[in-house]
Amino acid sequence: MSASRGKFNSRIGFILAAAGSAVGLGNIWGFPTQAAGNGGAAFVLMYLILAFCLAYPAFMAELIIGRHGQANAVESLRKVSKDGWQKKFAFIVGFGGILCAALLMSFYSIVAGWMLAFTAEPITTLVGATDTSNWLTAQSTSRNLIFTLIFTLLTVFIISRGVENGIERWSKRLMPALVALLVSLTVYVLTLDGAMDGLKAYLIPDFSQLFEPSLIVSALGQAFFSLSLGTSVIIIYGSYVAKNENLVSLGASVTLIDVFIAFLAGLLIIPAMYVAAAQGVQIFDANGALISGDTLVLTVLPALFDGMGSVGVIVALAFFALMSIASLTSSISMLEAPVSYTVERFGIARNTATMVIGALIFATSCLIIFNFNTLFGFVIALTTQYGQPIIGMLCCIFVGWIWHRSSLLEELKSGNEHVENQLFWKIWPWYTKLVCPVAIALVFIHSL
Ligand code: PHE
């Protein structure tokens, strides 16, 4: 079976695909929104600390498990386990991650659908189709169903084409487009009145807030979500990495890109909010805190774009296209997790597996759309607050406590001969074994 497995054809292909998975609504929406809601720069600082000290080591754990296993998440975890309870445990963790990825996609594609609808809106406004524009931007079951379906179909299309022709090719096209859009928008917004106040709020930390427990919990959750951890996604992408690649530097590159893009998105969104304020848009809530959540992206920013006149149409289009692209490169990784498992475990053709699983995920999205008030927040909390940290922590436990140290070293040496003498090997194994699980568990228990 391994002969027919897909594989990333180039180092840059993997980096862009994994960074594509990592960079998504979490970076461009979640990170700035959370920063806005948690004291601005203090959150940014804590996020940077946790991303490098906890999320990166956990990311490495998943990446190495995948590259060693050269198989879907369940098989890869089973390969590092001994017979008996360990194999069962491997199944639970691997399958749990796959389920988590599928559930994540069911709400993610609804939000991504909003992004597509908001991308279409400037066009319908330009041609004078006011009714359509109103429909596109107002919450409704019909709009949500249609755009979730379109987004799911786009994802299914890419995943059905496989690793090289689907994931790698599309990540290579979409990621540079995303960076170009993000940089141009940021440069433009920073030239507008009010942007400098936003920049100060974003970059000058209020240290008194730094150790607020709620800030730490949010920052860790955000870091795990952003690096796509605890969903078996990094395991499966790792399994498509060639044996002669240096995993330590690959993982570091992806983490750096992810953090950099989140930081850049903050440079765009927070100043944009203050520009909106300078134009009379309400950006603080009743308690004096910056508005966050969907009001920020779906109300404050469109109000800002409206205030810009005709150039605002182009800026709005660019901004929501950026959001849509970022969502797509993430959702393809979510769908790949269950698809790769089904293809390898049951020997089903990739096309069929992709379509069946895509349909099941869309059915779940429909269930959420029809019971929006009860299910939407619930599924988000279930997957991002519970599923991802728990499974991410269990992957660290696999690497630290179950996988034999010499076999782990051998895997790392493949593509990085001298790793044994590097700082990474001196710190990471015990760090992943002791510090990561305890720290993640502490933050998790606290969040309960
Ligand atoms: N990392 C993605 C984002 O920031 C979300 C994601 C989570 C993707 C889990 C895959 C798996 O939007």
> Which tens digits make up the pLDDT trace of 205-253?
777 878 888 888 888 888 999 999 999 999 999 999 999 999 999 999 9
Per-residue pLDDT tens digits for 106-131: 999 999 999 999 999 999 998 999 99
- 3-state DSSP of the chain: CHHHCCCCCCHHHHHHHHHHHHCCHHHHHHHHHHHHHCCCHHHHHHHHHHHHHHHHHHHHHHHHHHHHHCCCHHHHHHHCCCCCHHHHHHHHHHHHHHHHHHHHHHHHHHHHHHHHHHHHHHHHHHCCCHHHHHHHHCCCHHHHHHHHHHHHHHHHHHHHCHHHHHHHHHHHHHHHHHHHHHHHHHHHHHCCCCHHHHHHHHHCCCHHHCCCHHHHHHHHHHHHHHCCCCCCHHHHHHHCCCCCCCHHHHHHHHHHHHHHHHHHHHHHHHHHHHHHHHCCCCCECCCCCECCHHHHHHHHHHHHHHHCCHHHHHHHHHHHHHHHHHHHHHHHHHHHHHHHHHHHHHCCCHHHHHHHHHHHHHHHHHHHHHCHHHHHHHHHHHHHHHHHHHHHHHHHHHHHHHCCHHHHHHHHHCCCCCHHHCHHHHHHHHHHHHHHHHHHHHHHHHHC
Nearest partner of 64 among 413, 358, 440, judged by Cα: 413
Nearest partner of 429 among 238, 231, 248, 224, judged by Cα: 248
In this predicted structure, what is the pLDDT of residue 280?
A: 86
Task: Identify residue 363 by its one-letter amino acid code.
Answer: A
Average pLDDT for residues 52-66, to the nearest whole number? 95
In this predicted structure, what is the pLDDT of residue 3?
A: 41
Say whether pLDDT at 2 is over 60. no
What residues pair up with 284 in beta bridges, in sequence order? 290
CB-based contacts of 14, cutoff 8 Å, min separation 6? 8, 168, 237, 240, 241, 245, 250
Nearest partner of 212 among 37, 400, 84, judged by Cα: 37
Mean pLDDT, the chain, as a whole number?
A: 91
- Give, using CA atoms, the residue closest to atom 6 of ligand 1: 228
Say whether pLDDT at 303 is over 90. no
User: Which atom of ligand 1 approaches the CA of 388 most closely?
Assistant: 9
d(CA 39, CA 205) in angstroms, rounded, equals: 8
Task: Identify residue 79 by its one-letter amino acid code.
Answer: K
Say whether pLDDT at 196 is over 50. yes
Ligand 1 centroid to residue 226 C-alpha, Å: 5
Higher pLDDT, 245 or 385: 245
How far does the chain reach from its first CA to its final CA, in angstroms? 43
Does residue 135 contact residue 143 with C-beta atoms inside 8 Å? yes
Buried b or exposed e, range 360-375, using 16+ CB within 10 angstroms = ebbebbbebbeeeeeb
In this predicted structure, what is the pLDDT of residue 195?
A: 94
Pocket test of ligand 1: the residue of 328, 330, 332, 339 to mutate, having most ligand atoms within 8 Å of its CB, is: 330
d(CA 11, CA 15) in angstroms, rounded, equals: 6
Say whether pLDDT at 42 is over 80. yes
Under the banding of pLDDT at 50, 70 and 90, the label for residue 4 is low
Tokens of 416: 């990085």
User: Which atom of ligand 1 approaches the CA of 101 most closely?
Assistant: 11
Give the angle subtended at the CA of 242 by the CAs of 238 and 243, to the nearest 5°.
Answer: 100
Nearest partner of 145 among 355, 408, 365, judged by Cα: 365
Ligand 1 centroid to residue 190 C-alpha, Å: 27
d(CA 47, CA 31) in angstroms, rounded, equals: 9
Higher pLDDT, 290 or 117: 117
User: What percent of the chain is modeled with pLDDT above 70?
Assistant: 99
In this predicted structure, what is the pLDDT of residue 247?
A: 96
Sign of CA dihedral 40, 45, 51, 53: negative
Pocket test of ligand 1: the residue of 23, 115, 228 to mutate, having most ligand atoms within 8 Å of its CB, is: 228
Ligand 1 centroid to residue 130 C-alpha, Å: 34
What residues pair up with 56 in beta bridges, in sequence order? none
Average pLDDT for residues 14-43, to the nearest whole number? 88
User: What percent of the chain is modeled with pLDDT above 90?
Assistant: 69
In this predicted structure, what is the pLDDT of residue 60?
A: 97
Ligand 1 centroid to residue 256 C-alpha, Å: 15
- Give, using CA atoms, the residue closest to atom 7 of ligand 1: 228
Higher pLDDT, 323 or 365: 365
Number of neighbours of residue 203 by Cβ within 10 angstroms: 15
Say whether pLDDT at 355 is over 60. yes
Pocket test of ligand 1: the residue of 182, 224, 225, 328 to mutate, having most ligand atoms within 8 Å of its CB, is: 225
- Give, using CA atoms, the residue closest to atom 11 of ligand 1: 228
CATH H-level, domain 2-447: superfamily:
Amino acid/polyamine transporter I (1.20.1740.10)
Ligand 1 pocket by Cβ (under 6 Å)? 21-22, 24-27, 101, 104, 225-226, 228, 231, 233, 330, 333-334
Ligand 1 centroid to residue 108 C-alpha, Å: 9
In this predicted structure, what is the pLDDT of residue 1?
A: 41
Ligand 1 centroid to residue 21 C-alpha, Å: 6
Say whether pLDDT at 307 is over 90. no
Say whether pLDDT at 302 is over 60. yes
Tokens of 283: 């950006």
Ligand 1 centroid to residue 126 C-alpha, Å: 33
Nearest partner of 304 among 179, 194, 197, judged by Cα: 194
Tokens of 54: 């906890």
Ligand 1 centroid to residue 228 C-alpha, Å: 4
In this predicted structure, what is the pLDDT of residue 301?
A: 85
Ligand 1 centroid to residue 24 C-alpha, Å: 6
Per-residue pLDDT tens digits for 431-442: 999 999 998 888
